[in-house]
Structure 1
């Protein structure tokens, strides 16, 4: 491989994996377990909302226990459990099973909007997330190449949320709670994995060849015009 593709620590910049930076596929896999449990219980019970909600919460609780045993923070599992409980309360209040998916629909719409705005204000959320995980924090914002790369890759995440919003809205409008349950499961793990792969390709493809990579943001060089004293000496005119 081209030596310019590697940084000082021997890590390849083009062969870097966004999935690895984000902690692998475990988060996406764990996020898909409660929706699958909901779908299985929904189908097995003939559309009994209370049964499906119970199994979904039980699956979330199991993930919390596993995370604690492995000495990991169970934040994602706890958030999933809370979201399931709130969604259930909404459905019970309205008396309409399809409204169980309203929270999912609205949260994806809000996420799409938040990611799009973050790009427009030059704070792409993918950069914020990756920078926090790898320890570069917000230094990437001073690097025009990384800022541009993170912005381009963040549009893939916007598209991910938009796909969910379109599908969920159509099925909610058609009053298809069974298909909502199916698509909620289908658009969790597979879509997240596809999003990470696509945005990772866009991110690293947008980084110029020879750049040391996301782990080593580069501040732009100061122009010589701003530092006249740094300009090379020119020979004096002969007398």
Structure 2
């Protein structure tokens, strides 16, 4: 190989499923964000239990932990994406709990969010703008110039719709578990359920998506991913 020859890279995806696997790997984060999301909930339930159901102290402790996690990110000059999401969610949960004085209300924003996402994912499928397609688009090297290019491939839209049904199932499971616990004021179980139905359930959903992507062989329409060719030639 001469110095002028391009370095060979991985083969270009030849199916919709292979392309989606590649782009989702680019778009999704890692384990640290899941810890940052779960830790304030653990602290809230732990402090609430240890202080004989003192909602104010538990809420302050949870927000404090989220702030510390954000400061650590700033000091390390790393992405604040996940920790800021956890900080906003924790602050909102603390507001609901402090306003009512009921610890279970700390979990109400998450329940309402899951209900909203359930409706949103169903509407996106019905409108043929499946939510997963936006994640796929985010992993496209041409996303800034053509953020909705994925919609031009009908096979891509069909596969993304199937994957979005997995998210629908995820939100249904969350609501089926969380709503009865909330109505029964089972705070400790709500904390356990929120953590179990957070990152672990999300990983399970990704595993189901992965199985669908491995078992499917939907052909790419011509010209769907020229960006892959450009990446290989660099």
User: Cα distance, 1:47 vs. partner?
Assistant: 2.8
Q: How many residues align?
A: 209
Aligned to 1:79: 85
Structure 1 stretches of 5 or more lacking a match? 219-239
Matches within 5 A, 1:150-229: 150-208=160-218, 211=220, 216=225
Alpha carbon RMSD of aligned pairs, Å?
2.9
Change (3 A) 1:49 1:207: farther
User: Cα distance, 1:142 vs. partner?
Assistant: 0.6
How far, CA to CA, are the matches of 2:92 and 2:121 in structure 1? 24
Change (3 A) 1:95 1:35: closer
Change (3 A) 1:14 1:143: closer
How far, CA to CA, are the matches of 2:162 and 2:25 in structure 1? 17
User: Cα distance, 1:144 vs. partner?
Assistant: 1.2
Q: Hey, which of these two has a bigger chunk of helix by percent?
A: 2
How far, CA to CA, are the matches of 1:19 and 1:46 in structure 2? 44
Change (3 A) 1:48 1:33: same
Aligned to 1:63: 69
Structure 2 stretches of 5 or more lacking a match? 1-9, 228-234
Q: Secondary structure at the match of 1:134?
A: coil
Matches within 5 A, 1:35-114: 35-114=41-120
Q: Please, what TM-score do these two structures have when normalized by structure 1?
A: 0.75
Q: Larger Cα Rg: Structure 1 or Structure 2? A: 1
Change (3 A) 1:150 1:29: farther
Aligned to 2:149: 139
Aligned to 1:30: 36
Change (3 A) 1:156 1:8: closer
Q: Please, what TM-score do these two structures have when normalized by structure 2?
A: 0.76
Aligned to 2:18: 13
**Does the 8 Å CA contact 1:141/1:147 hold for their aligned counterparts?**
yes
